[in-house]
Each structure stands twice: as C-alpha cells, then as structure tokens.
Amino acid sequence: MAVETDPVKIMKQEVGKTAASRVSSGAIVGLGTGSTTAYAIESLGNRLQSGDLKDIVGVPTSFQAEVLAKQYGIPLTTLDAIDRIDVAIDGADEVDPQKNLIKGGGAAHTREKVVDSLAAEFIVVVDSGKLVDRLGSTFLLPVEVIPMAVTPVMRAIEKLGGKPELRMGIKKAGPVVTDQGNLVIDVKFEAIDNPVELEKTLNNLPGVLENGLFVGVANTILVGEIKDGKPTVREIA
C-alpha cells in the first residue's frame, strides 16, 4: 500500500480520522458524502475491523456513502428501521461564523439534510478554505428541483435576486441527476444576509425539493489546516 505524501490529502485523512474517533460503540451514524467524509467512513471501517469499535450501523446520505460503507464493512440501516441517529459526519462547501452551511456540491444535500438534521450531534469536516465570513461568498447555492418545474423555479429565483444556472454533468452529456431523480439549479446571490429566511423562501417555491442552506444544524466543525507543512485539526464548537 502506497504511503500518502500529498499534504492536502493527509490533512483530509486526519480530519476524517478525528471525526471517526468521536463515534462510540453501539452508535447509529449518519454517513455523509464527499472526499473528506470518505476518509471518515474509511476510518470507521478500520476501527470496526480492529475491534476498537463495535456494533455501529450507518445511515448513508448518498449512493457514494452506501458504496464506501459496504467497501469498508460498515453495516447499514434505513430511517424506517431506527428511532434515532446518534452522530452524523458530513462535509460542507461553506461554513460561516454562526456554523451555518452551504452544502450540495455533490448534489446529495436533500438526503444529507434529512440525516444530519436528525442526528443528536452533527460533526462537519472541512478544510480551512471552506470557512467564509458570509454564505454565498465562494460557492453557489444548490437547489434541487423536480424536472418539470425547472423553468418556473428559475424564473422565481431570478425575482428573488438570484442568478440560476442548471448544473450540467462532467463526462456526461446533459444535466446532473440526483439520487432522487431530480435536477440541480446552482444559484449565485450577491449576498445571503438572512440564511434562515432564504432557506424557507426557496423551499416554498412549488417544485423545489430542498436547497443547500443548512441553518442551525451543525454542532461541531472540525477544520483541517496545513501549518508549517504539517496537517493539523482544530475544532470550532
């Protein structure tokens, strides 16, 4: 097995490991989506294999998370079969000083919001580049829409002051399709001054399933940084 030398990847691994270390035996764990969260899932699998962790089950937020969990030997369950989620580990595309998030770069934000919001503790794993003073500064806001409603929803978003664009696939002809079979509109707002109200307003548009604003959901932010060429992890509680 090759030893990882890329400091950014090492830093993501360390953040993922730190998050996985917060999980106790017997826990029901929300398994998020994305590159940093993938390392947390791998670390959970390693802890199970070594016997350091026992009797956990995972609730995946995406097909990617499901595949990784199976690969690393983490038993899976569904929301129909459980009455709680003890901890969820997931990434974010932006984190503001109030621990509000923009998520959805991987088009999994609808299932992520369901799982992360149900968790007694939601741990966010990011690198320092994801920290912003105000949401919408560096990342477009994803909105999941049922296919028939794309055009009217885009018109409604324009009236709200947003600049909507249908997300297109990479190495795929046509738009990105979510795990629910819907489409994603990425929206640029000049300023998101009130994330609470914008989240509600967007979700009230007919045809919108969910948007990528996660307001008041995160408990702990684990931030990976490179200092003096070495990966470090700091916590924002």
Active-site residue identified among 66, 112, 199, 210: 112
Please choose, from the candidates 68, 62, 6, the residue with its C-alpha nearest in 3D space to the C-alpha of residue 40.
Answer: 68
Please choose, from the candidates 2, 98, 86, the residue with its C-alpha nearest in 3D space to the C-alpha of residue 44.
Answer: 86
Catalytic-residue membership of 42: no
Cβ burial of 192 (10 Å; 0-12, 13-18, 19+) is buried
Q: Identify the H or E element spanning 68.
A: helix 63-71
Q: What are the angstrom distances between the C-alpha of 123 and each of 2, 37, 94, 129, 141? A: 29, 10, 14, 17, 21
CA–CA–CA angle 62, 67, 73 (5° rounding): 125
Question: How many other β-carbons are positioned within 10 Å of the β-carbon of residue 88?
Answer: 29
Q: Which residues are marked as active site?
A: 112
